[in-house]
């Protein structure tokens, strides 16, 4: 399998979930070996897709430029979730403000944008990170871990003291098609009683019923209801896929979490990279026997 980028440039205008300001986002193709690069076009600042660029994980994953700390881009996880699901290795993502547009609060609009752009293969072999030993990070009873596995899977459990959520569990075996059907349409969610506090600290200013599931004390405020029975936990898997993109390549392993967060996901990425709990493998169009497990993941992107 070869590295991928998009076939042509595409753009979209939306608002940011937390700052509530209009944002123009442009996606452009990049050549093999360039990786995924974020650009604040209004500040002429670049930041690579790297765990070292992550500076905040409060309610969203936020990047900052090393050369210009004022140049930040927040809420990157939904877009990166879709980019990861499409197996894209090289991409320029430019925005003219501080956030990635929230769209409808899920990743399906980003999938549609990538479908519009088209995907092309480049003349370079694609690398995968195969997890070789279990790595776990914890925050009290909450945890996130990743273990050796012949393919990419996600197993997530959440437990909120709310009658519409309580304990939810979802297991997801990755393929791009299953991602679009089972995960991509799951929206972010928030609690009405927390809105005033979040806005007092500069967050959730752009949140509304068009881009977020809002819950009051008893139920869901959105008149259309849920898209999936387990939409809340499915969105957590969507987030986790975006956060794991900071590992820098496609992953072969089993992710498992209880009440995981952007913070725990960032901790997990750092631990995997720092302890080198992986090996890098390449997949040819006709993989050898020893690469069969890698090939299963490669086929899932088609």
Instruction: Kindly write down the DSSP assignment for every residue of 192-234, as one continuous string.
Output: HHHHHHHHHTT-STT--TTTSEEE-SSSB--TT--SSTTHHHH
Rounded-to-integer distance, Cα 16 and Cα 103, Å = 8
Counting Cα atoms < 13 Å in the Cβ hemisphere of 290 gives 2
Instruction: Kindly write down the DSSP assignment for every residue of 227-283, as one continuous string.
Output: SSTTHHHHHHHHHHHHHHGGGSSEEESEEEEES--HHHHHHHHHHHHHHT-EEEEE-
**Catalytic: 256?**
no
**CA-based end-to-end distance of the chain:** 10
Tell me if residue 84 falls in helix, strand or coil: helix
Whether the CB-CB separation of 107 and 78 falls below 8 Å is answered with yes
Tokens of 187: 């929206």
Of these residues, 18, 110, 256, 262, which one is catalytic? 262
- Would the annotation count 239 as a binding residue? yes
Binding region for Zn(2+): 78, 235, 239
Q: Which residues are catalytic?
A: 262
Task: Cite the annotated binding site by residue number.
Answer: 78, 235, 239
């Amino acid at each position: 399998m070869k590295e991928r980028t998009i076939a042509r440039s595409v753009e979209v205008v939306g608002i940011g979930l937390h700052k509530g300001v209009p944002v123009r986002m442009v996606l452009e193709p990049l050549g093999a070996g360039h990786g995924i690069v974020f650009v604040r076009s209004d500040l002429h600042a670049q930041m690579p897709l790297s765990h070292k660029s992550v500076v905040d994980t409060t309610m969203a994953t936020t990047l900052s430029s090393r050369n210009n700390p004022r140049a930040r881009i927040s809420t990157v996880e939904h877009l990166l979730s879709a980019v990861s699901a499409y197996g894209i290795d090289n991409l320029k993502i430019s925005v003219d403000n501080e956030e990635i547009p929230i769209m409808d609060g899920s990743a399906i609009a980003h999938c549609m944008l990538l479908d519009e752009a088209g995907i092309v293969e480049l003349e370079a072999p694609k690398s995968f990170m195969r997890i070789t030993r279990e790595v776990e990070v914890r925050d009290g009873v909450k945890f996130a871990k990743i273990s050796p596995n012949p393919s990419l899977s996600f197993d997530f459990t959440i437990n909120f003291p709310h009658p519409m959520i309580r304990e939810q569990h979802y297991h997801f075996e990755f393929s791009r098609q299953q991602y679009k059907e089972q995960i991509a349409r799951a929206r972010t969610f928030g609690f009405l009683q927390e809105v005033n506090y979040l806005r007092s600290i500069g967050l959730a200013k752009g949140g509304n019923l068009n881009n977020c599931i809002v819950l009051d004390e008893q139920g869901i405020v959105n008149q259309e209801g849920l898209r999936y029975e387990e939409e809340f936990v499915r969105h957590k898997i969507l987030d986790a896929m975006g956060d794991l993109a900071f590992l820098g390549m496609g992953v072969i392993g089993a992710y498992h979490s209880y009440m995981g967060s952007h913070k725990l996901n960032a901790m997990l990425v750092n631990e995997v990279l720092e302890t080198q709990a992986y090996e890098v493998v390449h997949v040819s169009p006709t993989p050898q026997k020893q690469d069969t497990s890698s090939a299963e993941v490669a086929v899932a992107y088609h």
